[in-house]
A and B are shown apart, each in its own frame.
Chain A
Amino acid sequence: MTGALRLAVALLAGLLFGLGLAISGMMDPAKVLGFLDVAGPWDPSLAFVLGGAVGVSALGYVMAAWMGKPATAPRFDIPTTRTVDARLVGGATLFGIGWGLVGLCPGPALAALTLGLPSIGVFVVAMLAGMVLFRLTPGMTPRTGEVRR
């Protein structure tokens, strides 16, 4: 029962995320590049996506502190590492170059698969290949869930 509930929660969260991306304009690479092009005819509107999302999300973390544990799981799975290291900065740099080249980040790229555009498909296949390549790099393991509380 908890398992089914957990899946329903994940499905609902994905649906809200995909709908939010579609409404926000983040799925339009031309708009994203217009936001990143601060030296051109800058379009700051996408800052409201991050602002709105962070505002609501922050309320979630406050509520999480009150709740103690999530509805369907024994504990919150939140990274507690706080040290900034070369790997973090290097990864963010590579991601930033890729994002700036075409204007797609992982969420919008995956959500846009639904539209069936070949160019989105090419990007997503390359992105997944990049993720697999990371796994194949000697000494590299994903840090997701490395530290728990």
Chain B
Amino acid sequence: MSAFLSPLVGGLLIGASAVVLLLGNGRIAGISGIAGGLLGPSRRDTLWRGAFLVGLLLGPILYRMQAGHWPEVRMEASWPMLIAAGLLVGYGTRLGSGCTSGHGVCGIARLSPRSITAVAVFMVVAAVTVFIVRHGIGT
């Protein structure tokens, strides 16, 4: 597939996922919310959240059955860097009530001013972070 077709097809499937969860169960397909909700004391939505995450984990297996190989995962970050980034992503997405899926895919689609703001902020901050790491500090 061409360089732009795979991202587009993947995006369409992610959108379809959001539609299925919305029209089926009335819920937003926000990954940080679905995962974070499992970590609290409330057991109210445990089952469907768990089922969604099982599906999420099975997705790459389905990909492998079709494509014959795993999706590419290239990462050079050191363990201390992975831990720092993981903590920031976990804490930040809960504080900001969403990530790329909840604010990005679902929030922009329903024209939520909060989500559009959040996406603009985390996109710009992420780009600035990459700029500082790659071009700012003389590595």
Contacts and interface: CB of A to CB of B under 8 A. Distances in A.
Interface in A118-149: 119-120, 122-135, 140, 142-144
A1 B30 CA distance: 25
B52 A14 contact: yes
B95 A87 contact: yes
Q: How large is the interface on A (under 10, 10 to 19, 20 to 34, 35 or more residues)?
A: 35 or more
Contact of B12 (A56, A134, A135): A56
Most buried by B among A72, A76, A109, A144: A144
B62 to A, nearest CB: 5
B95 A18 contact: no
A75 B26 CA distance: 6
Interface in B99-139: 99-101, 103-106, 108-110, 112-114, 117-119, 121-131, 133-135
Contacts of A13: 17-18, 20-21, 24-25, 29, 52, 55
A133 to B, nearest CB: 6
Main secondary structure of the interface of A (DSSP, over half): helix
Q: How large is the interface on B (under 10, 10 to 19, 20 to 34, 35 or more residues)?
A: 35 or more
A54 B124 CA distance: 19
A24 B126 contact: no
A40 B135 contact: yes
Interface of B: 3-4, 6-33, 35-37, 39-40, 47-49, 51-63, 70-77, 79, 81-97, 99-101, 103-106, 108-110, 112-114, 117-119, 121-131, 133-135
A98 B23 CA distance: 32
Interface string A49-61: 1111111111111
Nearest to A98: B88
Contact of A124 (B21, B86, B92): B86
Interface in A48-102: 48-61, 63-64, 67, 69-73, 75-79, 81-84, 87-102
